Structure 1
């Protein structure tokens, strides 16, 4: 293990618990946006041990392991300084693997991977987050060498060995993002690296799916606008094509997992939405009826299985809120008992790998007014013990109610929306915020805890989070309705959300603001330019200001494939009609923005390079003096450093209080 990593990852002997005092009326910014107090709660394969990340009194982090039969038996495995934990998995009951991010390096990827025994011994550095071209690797076997940053963690194995699966990334000579990944098996003690593939194989594979024996059986490629899925019957068998489709125009075919009986589960189109199907690998056909289908929602979720006993237990999914449908009677009984012990919350139960008679299960409990809290439930005696919350200073009484509703856009399209109300009662309409999700072609939220929405609600704002057209999760028609509608009907949906809230009597029409990040930042700028009578102030961070720059900026991480296919379909073609983007680019409309504006950006943002912000700020300042602007020098596309996140939300708090909360016009 190199000295640089050792300086940031050191063993400790004592664990301190971080606590915060409750504010009398307005919870402080830190209670929402500080790094979690407890997170990454994960059971060992047998269920005898639970690993979790604890925040220490000095704001650093420590990885601890507890015995589930006696939680007082605690081992502090390691303490993190400038490294932050991104992912943790048990390799077996003795050993864990951790993915770590150096907060001093902005770029996505460049993660360190280590493995360590549950008592803190035998710590092995597996992948370095630092590029070192002197360590270029050749051949199938590498001993006693730390892999370079062109490797990444993919999965653990499930055979009880000390091995994990890593992928070697490859690039073309143009794109910043890798074009393919190749799987290897890596022993976490000896560092022996073994190629998992032999013979002819598909080219430019973006994703691999492994069966229950940890063999790569499904390969997913993406190129020139086409998504192709290949399958092989056995470890040495030939690869055959099972799906070849236009990635956007055709019905989705998204392989999710193999179960222990060699059944492939696929997310595929059904009645205008996506559902979960089983797939006959011999006939290469979907089952006639879906395994899981949720009326009104695309299937988003995962299958819970008992790996040791080759049994599907149930399916986790999201409709308006997260839930689980259990097939296994024993798990149904456990869920019922847990829900009785933790009423009023969504309680996700997670089994260890051997779930026949689990020693313990982990419960992640959260609601609209409470951030995730973790519990250990032991089915044998029915006891449940709290392990802590991600944000322990949050008081449920200071949080507002959150609902899932619909409103009609001006063309009649029904738009889903999450509404979070302030916790206190009001005699009349209040100030309101339309909080716009990024993407934009993603789902924005769920009913459960949303720190940004609850923070704003705690300041007295009604928070509207529209799943505007173009958002995924609500059927293909809703998704397609947003194609090439940046600044047009997608933008209308946001103004219509504000008008709807006024009509409901919730929002004061003279005190409605708009805010968001990435696409949400773009929509904020366009909202202030197009609808100054609706939106009286705006906050944007990491926002797009010039659509043409998305296609031309050399600092952008958009691939050539995305530029030529996906973005032309979803956003528009800059070659066919370059002037069309002027009407829907905030930069071209900068002189129309006269309302107060807060802008923030990361200096190292590669998704939306900072030139978007600098050009926009300079243009708006020519006609609008009420513009605040901050660049965070160590950040990328969003805030990773705790101090930056807290600083930003303090600025938001002060800006909205000054320009919206008490504004008369």
Structure 2
């Protein structure tokens, strides 16, 4: 069953041997090389095949992430199945018959994802969706139907995805449903379409039953705007008699619901007033829920079925850290389990259920073993109106040598803001937290209002609050950090991508002296042009954007969008700003960065601007990510006084184009000249 397959000028010398004892000053803590934090992992995304005979993972081949496979009985006999030369493959998944590994990839970050398959034995690669400017969606991969999967593609109309049955052995696509306005489709485990979701004018969704290939006229379920991000089907049991939902209708946080398909009667299986229940572990044979995932401060599995409780208890006892079950064989006797201890690189294990045996398969970044990584500490911060903001703090060893979570002295801080904004920060290993803490900064990530996972009321408190109460939450978190001796008010930078980039621009325009500097990565500057250039396949969500951000079709909405767009206040910027942008970004068009840079130029306000012509919404190629972070850490060093690994040759091999402002970053002019 498919459940969820689918962002100081002083320079320290790099010390190759990692210290084992806590440090008392920044100089005592070895500098972790950027490449070890942001380069390719050695291995990642390990999965066991449905038949339990194979292991797959993603690993570099000639410096680019590709798909690898090995016999389960002999992982050392691994071989690369793909040969991508430029664009990394970031996820892969098994066909139901275990004969093919499937993956999706785009070109240069354009997010026109196409579906590929590669035969495990022969290595033959097939492009299943050979269309231009098309984005594939996975509808369902069932364990019950071995030779077919359901996909949806928008090659006919870019706004809507038609559903097709894909016959994997031949690659033949058979039209199942020609879509004339539905946002999403759901099938049972026999690959029969059973539900269709259609966007409402209020930003919600109506759910319609599909019978004999036809969508019924009247909806069987209605979800308003307030529940739209917290209510959705999770999937059917194998017999098709029960449909599971995450459902916040009639409550604040999303509950786990089992609905009897015949009668329509819902039964609450689990709910928690602290957080939404959004996913779980389902029996691979029956499709029945066995455990659900709950994430408040940290993520945990809560067992429902006694048959799985002993396994989860065993894994919790044996694995020191937060673990996730990432794949299961059809016989359910072999699992892959990923473990995150935060202050050590993640590892993946093979779990033999019958023998209760764990075998370590790999460590994702073995080069970080023994590195001076730091813990992460969950915090609950009170906003000015009393709202509780779940946040995460990392401290440099110089400020917290014992790893207690209490700063012994204030240090500069980076407020690292998540994207979305309808997403969340979570507890776990975070490459940016580790990198910045190693450079001598406290790092704070805040789940500001509008973040998901904490109930629909928490999300709704962010409606129409871009650049206002959502931004106030970030300012309140800074106040908390200052009051608790973590940092000083004059030594705080703001940094983030996507909405985090917007928050950076908002911070430097709406509150121009609140931050010492800002790093904006693919952040929108003009909410009008952002909404004008959203991809056509987001048509179904347009009304939700309007009601949560501001409606450009009304006079009051236009006024709101104007006053919330940092572009219109670019003349207020008085602090250093670094901008990174992918030229092919389909979500936040390159114009968003071009506009604010032009506005700053018109006022003779300095800015450093780096563009990557082969990237989209973020930097997928490690060489590009390393290049930008080389610029960023030296920019922050100028601003906050922390340590930085010299830029050196970091830009060589990348496609980085420093459009302007190289003179404002230590070593950047020399790097550009030597590229």
- How far apart, in 1, do the equivalents of 2:231 and 2:64 lie? 42
- Give runs of aligned pairs for residues 61-460 of structure 1, distance below 5 A: 61-103=65-107, 105-116=108-119, 118-128=120-130, 130=132, 149=134, 152-159=137-144, 161-169=146-154, 178-196=158-176, 203-224=180-201, 225-232=203-210, 241-248=219-226, 252-261=230-239, 262-269=241-248, 270-287=250-267, 290-307=268-285, 311-343=288-320, 345-350=321-326, 352-355=328-331, 358=333, 360-395=334-369, 398-426=372-400, 427-440=408-421, 442-460=422-440
Please say if residues 401 and 422 of structure 1, whose CA atoms lie closer than 8 Å, have aligned partners that are also in contact: no
SS at match of 1:539: strand
SS at match of 1:607: coil
TM-score for the superposition, normalised by structure 2:
0.83
Please say if residues 470 and 483 of structure 1, whose CA atoms lie closer than 8 Å, have aligned partners that are also in contact: yes
- Give runs of aligned pairs for residues 557-572 of structure 1, distance below 5 A: 562-563=541-542, 565-572=543-550
- Give runs of aligned pairs for residues 549-564 of structure 1, distance below 5 A: 549-551=529-531, 553=532, 562-563=541-542
- How far apart, in 2, do the equivalents of 1:182 and 1:194 lie? 10
> Alpha-carbon deviation of 1:191?
2.7
> Alpha-carbon deviation of 1:482?
1.1
SS at match of 2:570: helix
Cross-structure match for 2:646: none
- How far apart, in 1, do the equivalents of 2:526 and 2:179 lie? 38
In the superposition, relative to structure 1, how do residues 597 and 402 fare at CA in structure 2: closer, same or farther (>3 Å)? same
- How far apart, in 1, do the equivalents of 2:383 and 2:204 lie? 33
Note the alpha carbon deviations across 1:375-406, whole angstroms, 9 max, x for none: 11223444322222333322465222212222
Please say if residues 519 and 577 of structure 2, whose CA atoms lie closer than 8 Å, have aligned partners that are also in contact: yes
- Give runs of aligned pairs for residues 18-57 of structure 1, distance below 5 A: 25-56=30-61
In the superposition, relative to structure 1, how do residues 322 and 96 fare at CA in structure 2: closer, same or farther (>3 Å)? farther
In the superposition, relative to structure 1, how do residues 151 and 562 fare at CA in structure 2: closer, same or farther (>3 Å)? closer
- How far apart, in 2, do the equivalents of 1:53 and 1:627 lie? 38
In the superposition, relative to structure 1, how do residues 337 and 412 fare at CA in structure 2: closer, same or farther (>3 Å)? closer
SS at match of 1:85: coil
Note the alpha carbon deviations across 1:427-483, whole angstroms, 9 max, x for none: 41010111111111x232111122222221121111111111121211222111111
Count of aligned positions: 607
In the superposition, relative to structure 1, how do residues 608 and 76 fare at CA in structure 2: closer, same or farther (>3 Å)? closer
Please say if residues 294 and 301 of structure 2, whose CA atoms lie closer than 8 Å, have aligned partners that are also in contact: yes
In the superposition, relative to structure 1, how do residues 228 and 386 fare at CA in structure 2: closer, same or farther (>3 Å)? same
SS at match of 1:260: coil
Match of 2:498 among 518, 528, 536: 518
In the superposition, relative to structure 1, how do residues 492 and 239 fare at CA in structure 2: closer, same or farther (>3 Å)? same
Cross-structure match for 1:538: 518
In the superposition, relative to structure 1, how do residues 628 and 329 fare at CA in structure 2: closer, same or farther (>3 Å)? same
Cross-structure match for 2:667: none
SS at match of 1:498: helix
Cross-structure match for 2:7: none
SS at match of 1:339: helix
Q: CA RMSD in A?
A: 2.9
In the superposition, relative to structure 1, how do residues 64 and 525 fare at CA in structure 2: closer, same or farther (>3 Å)? closer
Cross-structure match for 2:555: 576
> Alpha-carbon deviation of 1:249?
6.7
> Alpha-carbon deviation of 1:87?
3.3
> Alpha-carbon deviation of 1:237?
9.7
SS at match of 2:489: strand
TM-score for the superposition, normalised by structure 1:
0.84
Please say if residues 522 and 544 of structure 1, whose CA atoms lie closer than 8 Å, have aligned partners that are also in contact: yes
Please say if residues 71 and 78 of structure 2, whose CA atoms lie closer than 8 Å, have aligned partners that are also in contact: yes
> Alpha-carbon deviation of 1:88?
2.2
> Alpha-carbon deviation of 1:593?
0.9
Please say if residues 140 and 186 of structure 2, whose CA atoms lie closer than 8 Å, have aligned partners that are also in contact: no
> Alpha-carbon deviation of 1:412?
2.3
Please say if residues 248 and 566 of structure 1, whose CA atoms lie closer than 8 Å, have aligned partners that are also in contact: no
Note the alpha carbon deviations across 1:486-536, whole angstroms, 9 max, x for none: 121111111111111010111122211111112211211121223344311
SS at match of 1:340: helix
SS at match of 1:445: coil
SS at match of 1:509: coil
Please say if residues 472 and 479 of structure 1, whose CA atoms lie closer than 8 Å, have aligned partners that are also in contact: yes
Match of 1:491 among 442, 454, 471: 471
Structure 2 unmatched runs, 5+: 1-14, 20-29, 401-407, 644-675
SS at match of 1:32: helix
Note the alpha carbon deviations across 1:121-152, whole angstroms, 9 max, x for none: 45433222646xxxxxxxxxxxxxxxxx4655
- How far apart, in 1, do the equivalents of 2:414 and 2:229 lie? 35
Please say if residues 607 and 637 of structure 1, whose CA atoms lie closer than 8 Å, have aligned partners that are also in contact: yes
Please say if residues 364 and 373 of structure 1, whose CA atoms lie closer than 8 Å, have aligned partners that are also in contact: yes
Please say if residues 66 and 83 of structure 2, whose CA atoms lie closer than 8 Å, have aligned partners that are also in contact: yes
Note the alpha carbon deviations across 1:162-200, whole angstroms, 9 max, x for none: 32322232565xxxxx43323222222223333445xxx
Match of 1:628 among 579, 593, 608: 608
Q: Which has the higher contact order (CA 8 A, sep 6+)?
A: 2
- How far apart, in 1, do the equivalents of 2:527 and 2:214 lie? 47
